[in-house]
Chain A
Amino acid sequence: MSKIDSEISKIKFTCKDVRVAYSGKEALHGINMAIDDRGVTAFIGPSGCGKSSFLRVFNRMNDTIAGCTVTGEVYMDGQDIYAPSLDPVLLRARVGMVFQKPNPFPKSIYDNVAYGPRIHGLASNKAELDHIVEKSLQRAGLWEEVKDRLKDSGTGLSGGQQQRLVIARAIAVSPEVILMDEPASALDPIATARLEELIEELSQKYCIVIVTHSMAQAARISQRTAFFHMGDLVEYGLTTNIFTNPADPRTQDYITGRTG
């Protein structure tokens, strides 16, 4: 994607002075950032710098952590997602999340994928639900492997299959955004390659934000990269620029492997 393309692409999220604190201890110190609507934005940075904390800002999952407070403003399509009138439950249906460790429910493969559509009433009959499940599994690249055993438990799949299952589960509710927190950390190189293909494909339709510890992965799949360091956003820009010509010495040190 060229620079021009990304500039004309719409903005999905705008963050103004976002701070995240755990029991009063600040983990993110005022982040200002805009995230593109289409394509992949990667968050990189040393462990503990606040990538996951920041990712959870976008679907308000920090709300579920006792003692965690978020201040500042976050707009999604111009709408304040921390407004008191906004129900985080509805927000999370629009902003999906894939966790570091695949966490399929101890239910059948079918029921895992159908979980979201069922609670949100997205299908009016069994045939529609079947269709959603099939389509989601296909998009996640898992359909061929599981179509004959949809009744089997989701927890019985391999790690890579589980990760694709939870991705299918996330896209089954047709979110606008998919947040991924180190989705490849439990996968072997082959499964990782498949996952990256999948991410690239999904990025045509979704806004994808991904946390990764792999520089190579960020370089391969993302259009924009944000580098975090000790709770600050140090540098943010086109991935090609960040990796070839970082402006900040901390970024330089990190991507060349001198820190973190």
Chain B
Amino acid sequence: MLNSVFLLVLVLAALMAASFVFARRKAKATVVAAGEGAGLIFHSQPGYYGWLAGIVSGLAALMALVAGANLSLNPWMTLTLMMVVGLAGSYFAASRVSAEFRARTYVEFFIKTLLVTCSLIAVFTTVGIILSLVFESFRFFQEVSFLDFLTGLQWSPQTAMRSDQVGQSGAFGAIPVFTGTFLIMAIAIVVAAPIGLLIAIYLSEYAEKRTRKIVKPVIEILAGVPTVVYGFFALMTVGPAIRALAETMGFSVPTQSAITAGLVMGIMIIPFVSSLSDDVINAVPQSMRDGSYALGATKSETMTKVVFAGALPGIIGALLLAVSRAIGETMIVVLAAGRAANLTGNPFEAVTTVTVQIVALLTGDQEFDSAKTLAAFALGLMLFIITLVLNFIALIIVRRYRARYE
């Protein structure tokens, strides 16, 4: 299978390359034959005639491949068909070489079409995802009232599965789930904002060039650690450590708790905060600092009163981006936060988050149109809307901030 794919690609490439060379040579020869200075009256450079021939033969061969597959020809027949059709395409393109033929226009049209197609793929995927979220959520809200979902204080979707049990109605009040998400997010931001900011200030204002060159990439490695590793670290190291610490002080904390998940998530988003803020602080023009120094301000006065004040909107934007990242984060909370939908503001209890619940709802045995699974779409939609709004606000702030210095 792999071999035949490889062979196909090889044949296609060879075909296109041959067409390219053939047509370009023909175009060059035509120019030479037309005599001195004829290159100027040719619409396109010889290379474009070559590219066009390559593209035409490639497309023709691809069509032959599709046709072959549809007619269920055997592989060798398909291959032969591809060669024949491809060569015919190449011959056709080469036969059109003439001064008036607008090869460049066609090549550019083809390239443009290719580019547009690529971006359309991304756009349609996004639209498709949003539509499916909206559609499935809509089905969910036919079974569970929207108001109950938004304002309900109890989340226990598991009971809805067992139609033979009492309490089968299940409770889909999303408030405890969102409380958990926001609690963990708040802890994360309390950890990441000061540390990330101080790192950014150190890097941009105080660090020597050499130190900066080493420290910045090292911090950015933090951003490259897979989140499952963070989750693992939270569950195996941070959670037990917090529990042990709490025990020495005489109270008990579960291994899985909001504080564990929040702390580790905070560490995870430190590089976002520090590197975005660093960019923002660097964008404050040197002339602002000079103006402050020239008035007899010290470095720290300049830093806090001019640079930081000037960069503040951008820093807020950076924090919002970090927050929206924290909200959507899954692996850390799955491993470290727990699944119990406690409605609590106490960071030392186990809580659950939107992402954890989505995972819980969709793993295991499923019927895909029960309220339980549909609830995942509703949660996903809410999450999507929240992060969208956050990103939107952050972008507006950052853009306005940029405009300020331009």
B37 to chain A, nearest CB (A): 47
In the bound complex, CA of A101 to CA of B287 (Å): 8
- The interface stretch among B141-149, B288-296, B334-342 is B288-296
Please state if B297 and A119 are interface contacts (CB–CB under 8 Å).
Answer: yes
A96, A104, A106: the one within 8 Å of B295 (CB): A96
B209, B288, B298, B309: the one within 8 Å of A103 (CB): B288
B57 to chain A, nearest CB (A): 59
Question: Sorted from nearest, which 6 A-B pairs have the closest CB atoms?
Answer: A93-B296, A97-B294, A103-B287, A92-B296, A116-B295, A103-B291
Asked if A90 meets B296 with Cβ closer than 8 Å, knowing A106-B404, A155-B404, A166-B291, the reply is yes
> B54: CB under 8 A from chain A?
no
Contact mask for chain B residues 156-182; partner A; CB cutoff 8 A; 1 contact, 0 none? 000000000000000000000000000
> B360: CB under 8 A from chain A?
no
Contact mask for chain B residues 278-313; partner A; CB cutoff 8 A; 1 contact, 0 none? 000000010111111111111001000110011000
In the bound complex, CA of A61 to CA of B293 (Å): 8
> A64: CB under 8 A from chain B?
yes
Closest to B311 in A: A106
Which residues on the A side are within 8 Å of B293 (C-beta)?
61, 64, 92
In the bound complex, CA of A93 to CA of B298 (Å): 11
Asked if A173 meets B291 with Cβ closer than 8 Å, knowing A119-B301, A119-B305, the reply is no
Asked if A103 meets B290 with Cβ closer than 8 Å, knowing A115-B305, A119-B305, A155-B404, the reply is yes
A28 to chain B, nearest CB (A): 19
In the bound complex, CA of A39 to CA of B310 (Å): 36
Which residues on the B side are within 8 Å of A96 (C-beta)?
294-295
Which residues on the A side are within 8 Å of B295 (C-beta)?
92-93, 96, 115-116, 119, 169-170, 173
Please state if A89 and B298 are interface contacts (CB–CB under 8 Å).
Answer: yes
Some 16 contacts from A to B, beta carbons below 8 A apart, are A61-B290, A61-B293, A64-B290, A89-B296, A90-B296, A103-B285, A105-B306, A106-B405, A107-B309, A115-B292, A116-B296, A116-B297, A119-B301, A119-B305, A155-B404, A169-B291
> A225: CB under 8 A from chain B?
no
> A258: CB under 8 A from chain B?
no
Contact mask for chain B residues 305-349; partner A; CB cutoff 8 A; 1 contact, 0 none? 110011000000000000000000000000000000000000000
Please state if A105 and B288 are interface contacts (CB–CB under 8 Å).
Answer: yes
Please state if A173 and B296 are interface contacts (CB–CB under 8 Å).
Answer: yes
Additional A-B contacts beyond A64-B289, A106-B288, A116-B296 (15; CB < 8 A): A59-B294, A61-B293, A64-B293, A66-B209, A92-B294, A92-B296, A93-B296, A97-B294, A103-B291, A105-B292, A106-B404, A116-B295, A120-B296, A169-B291, A173-B296
> A99: CB under 8 A from chain B?
yes
In the bound complex, CA of A59 to CA of B342 (Å): 63
In the bound complex, CA of A173 to CA of B292 (Å): 12
Considering residues A92, A94, A106, which has the most beta carbons from chain B within 10 angstroms of its beta carbon?
A106
Contact mask for chain A residues 48-72; partner B; CB cutoff 8 A; 1 contact, 0 none? 0000000000010100101000000
Which residues on the B side are within 8 Å of A107 (C-beta)?
309
Contact mask for chain A residues 72-103; partner B; CB cutoff 8 A; 1 contact, 0 none? 00000000000000000111111011010101
In the bound complex, CA of A174 to CA of B288 (Å): 20
In the bound complex, CA of A41 to CA of B288 (Å): 26
Within 8 A of A (CB), among B238-294: 285, 287-294
Considering residues B292, B293, B301, which has the most beta carbons from chain A within 10 angstroms of its beta carbon?
B293
Which residues on the B side are within 8 Å of A90 (C-beta)?
296
A210 to chain B, nearest CB (A): 15
Please state if B290 and A99 are interface contacts (CB–CB under 8 Å).
Answer: yes
Closest to A155 in B: B404
Considering residues A92, A93, A104, A107, which has the most beta carbons from chain B within 10 angstroms of its beta carbon?
A92
Which residues on the A side are within 8 Å of B292 (C-beta)?
105, 115
A16 to chain B, nearest CB (A): 24
Please state if B297 and A99 are interface contacts (CB–CB under 8 Å).
Answer: no
